[in-house]
C-alpha cells in the first residue's frame, strides 16, 4: 500500500492511448468501496469519455486545462442534501480513484470544482447534474505522458508529527 501511496502524483500530461475497460472498472470499484459516514455513500460518479465534453470541462477553471487530454474523466458528484459529511465521503472516494489509477500504472489528478461557483454551475450544466447535488471534483485519468518522481520522506516535514500531545 505505501508503495502506491508514494507513487501517487498529480499527473497532468497523458498519452493519446486507450485506458482499458478492465482498468477503468477497477478504478470505479475502488471508489465504490470507500468508507462513508453512516454508510450513506452520498455520491454519484459520472464517467466521461466524449472529447467535446472533455474539451468544455477543461475550460471551467484556470487549473483544469489537462482535462481535455485525459482518456477518461470521472466527475465526483456529492449528495449534499443526504449527508452533512458529503465532502469527506466524496473526498475519500476521489482519493481511492486516484490511488487505484496509480496502482493500475495510470496517471490521474484532482481538479477542484467545489468552492468555485462559476465552475460548479458550468460543470453541472454540461453534465446535467440535478440542482440539489454538488460537484466535488473532476479526476482526469490517462496513460502517463510525463511522469513525476515518487514521493520520499524528504517531501514532508517531520515536525508535523507530534507524539502524545501537540
Give me the residues that bind ligand FMN (CB under 6 A), please.
9-10, 12, 61, 63, 109-112, 148
* 143 Cβ contact partners less than 8 Å away, ≥ 6 residues apart: 14, 15, 17, 18, 19, 71, 106, 107
For residue 165, the minimal CB distance to ligand FMN (Å) is 28
Q: Give just the sign of the alpha carbon dihedral 76, 81, 83, 85.
A: positive
Q: Which is nearer to ligand FMN, 12 or 124 (CB)?
A: 12
For residue 112, the minimal CB distance to ligand FMN (Å) is 4
Q: Which is nearer to ligand FMN, 113 or 164 (CB)?
A: 113
For residue 147, the minimal CB distance to ligand FMN (Å) is 11
Q: Which is nearer to ligand FMN, 20 or 146 (CB)?
A: 146
For residue 21, the minimal CB distance to ligand FMN (Å) is 26
Assign 3-state DSSP to the chain and report helix, strand, coil percentages, each to 5: 40, 15, 40
3-state secondary structure of 142: strand
For residues 108 and 17, give the distance between their C-alpha atoms in angstroms, rounded to a whole number.
Answer: 14
Amino acid at each position: 500500500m505505501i508503495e502506491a501511496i508514494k507513487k501517487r502524483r498529480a499527473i497532468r500530461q497523458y498519452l493519446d492511448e486507450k485506458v482499458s475497460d478492465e482498468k477503468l472498472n477497477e478504478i470505479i470499484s475502488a471508489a465504490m468501496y470507500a468508507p462513508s459516514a453512516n454508510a450513506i455513500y452520498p455520491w454519484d460518479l459520472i464517467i466521461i469519455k466524449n472529447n467535446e465534453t472533455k474539451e468544455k470541462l477543461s475550460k471551467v477553471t484556470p487549473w483544469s486545462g489537462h482535462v481535455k487530454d485525459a482518456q477518461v474523466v470521472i466527475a465526483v458528484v456529492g449528495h449534499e442534501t443526504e449527508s452533512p459529511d458529503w465532502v469527506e465521503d466524496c473526498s475519500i472516494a476521489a482519493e481511492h480513484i486516484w490511488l487505484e489509477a496509480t496502482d493500475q500504472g495510470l496517471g490521474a489528478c484532482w481538479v477542484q470544482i467545489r468552492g468555485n461557483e462559476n465552475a460548479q454551475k458550468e460543470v453541472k450544466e454540461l453534465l446535467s447534474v440535478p440542482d440539489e447535488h454538488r460537484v466535488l471534483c473532476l479526476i482526469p485519468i490517462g496513460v502517463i505522458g510525463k511522469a513525476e518522481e515518487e514521493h520520499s520522506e524528504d517531501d514532508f516535514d517531520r515536525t508535523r508529527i507530534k507524539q502524545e500531545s501537540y
